[in-house]
Amino acid sequence: MINHTFSAILFGLALGTSALAADHGQNGHAMPAEQAMDPVWADGTVKKVNADAGKVTISHGPLASLDMPAMTMVFRVSDPAMLDQMKPGNRIRFVVERRGGALTVTALQPGR
Ligand SMILES: [Cu+2]
Tens digit of each residue's pLDDT (9 = 90 or more) over 68-110: 999 999 999 999 999 999 999 999 999 999 999 999 999 999 9
Most distant pair of Cα atoms in the chain: their distance: 47
Contact assessment for residue 76 and residue 99, using Cβ atoms and an 8 Å cutoff: yes
* pLDDT of 64: 83
- Residue 68 alpha carbon to ligand 1 centre in Å: 6
- Residue 1 alpha carbon to ligand 1 centre in Å: 25
Tens digit of each residue's pLDDT (9 = 90 or more) over 99-108: 999 999 999 9
- Residue 58 alpha carbon to ligand 1 centre in Å: 8
Total number of domains in the chain: 1
Helices (H) and strands (E) in the chain, counts: 1, 5
Residue 26 pLDDT more than 70?
A: no
Residue 13 pLDDT more than 70?
A: no
Q: Name the residue among 100, 103, 39 with its Cα closest to residue 77.
A: 103
* pLDDT of 38: 63
Which CATH number goes with the domain that contains 71? 2.40.50.320
Question: Which range of residues forms the domain containing residue 26?
Answer: 2-110
Task: Indicate the pTM of the whole model.
Answer: 0.66
Tens digit of each residue's pLDDT (9 = 90 or more) over 27-72: 444 444 444 556 789 999 999 999 999 999 999 999 888 889 999 9
